[in-house]
Amino acid sequence: MRVVIVTPTRNEEKTIQTTIECMLKQTVLPVKWVIVNDGSTDRTEKIILQYCNENNPFIEYVSIPDRGYRNPGKGVVETFYEGMKKIGNIDYDIVAKFDADLDFPPDALEKICQAFKDNQHLGITGGAIYERKNQQGPYEKLYYPEGYVCGPNKFYRKKCFADIGGLIARAGWDGVDIIRANMKEWETGTLETLTTHHLKNTGSAFGEGLIKACEKYGDVSYYMGGYLWYFALRLVGRSLESRNPKVGYYMLKGYVNSYREKKAREPEDFRAFLKIKQKEHVFSLLAKISKIRR
């Protein structure tokens, strides 16, 4: 299967070389890999350009002006679409939004292609993301609901990507795409046999930090419009996991602020479908806990 990849990047000098080296070692190479430099002020551009030569004809570099600040969610999707302009009329089967801070095995793309070949109903997949707490210690797999695919590595079947209308330019795009795909009867889910190391923890990018990351989560929960009790469970769970009550406080603050500002939300049919998926997730989790106790 033919894969095209777009990698938005901003100030990734510490990780992007690892990501590029991993891509060059793939047993199945992409037909086009567009790396979009979103106004980096460090050595990111210099590192990328070292690999843009006749030895790697599938790599294309795009640079866009520095907006002067990081715009989580909205900025990364806008940068992604700058890269998509370079895909043009290339014939492809799979399109990926792929971050510049990933370490992955040589057979990653081969496994992704095989997963799509084996299941014609599969619309979105990606590797299982592992991170290190506070950038130290061993890598541990992130917890995520069944059917979810983590934002750093998202692979879309071309037809599914068209069916969901692409990616929304706001925080929460990586949850909305899953629900929209499921509503269109596409299957989604992580490829558990593909271990992918996220070299820079979610929410740790310069200019974001704990407060902004947690407020963003609250805003996204309001925007997507699921159950309030489900949001409360996630709030408590994340606070306990991080052993930091401020996590829950800022998540709630983000939700309340969006409510007060009466921000736009996903349509009613989306919200109703999301609530069904949330109940399914909770019942599935309770069943797993019950099995473990037995």
Confidence of residue 206 (pLDDT cuts 50, 70, 90): very low
Instruction: Look up the pTM and report it.
Output: 0.93
Confidence of residue 207 (pLDDT cuts 50, 70, 90): very low
pLDDT tens for 246-277 read 999 999 999 999 999 999 999 999 999 999 99
pLDDT (0 to 100) of residue 41: 93
pLDDT tens for 94-116 read 999 999 999 999 999 999 999 99
Question: Which of these, 46, 161, 26, lies nearest to 107 by C-alpha position?
Answer: 26
pLDDT tens for 7-20 read 999 999 999 999 99
Q: Which amino acid is at 190?
A: T
pLDDT (0 to 100) of residue 293: 64
Bridge pairing between strands 102-103 and 122-131: unpaired
State the Cα–Cα distance between residues 226 and 271, nearest whole angstrom: 6
Q: Are 189 and 118 in contact (CB under 8 A)?
A: no
Could you give the 3-state DSSP secondary structure of residue 28?
A: coil
> What is the DSSP track for 176-239?
HHHHHHHHTT-EEEEEEEEEEEESS-TT-STTTHHHHHHHHHHHHHHHHT--HHHHHHHHHHHH
Domains of the chain (ranges; CATH) run 3-198 (3.90.550.10), 209-293 (no CATH)
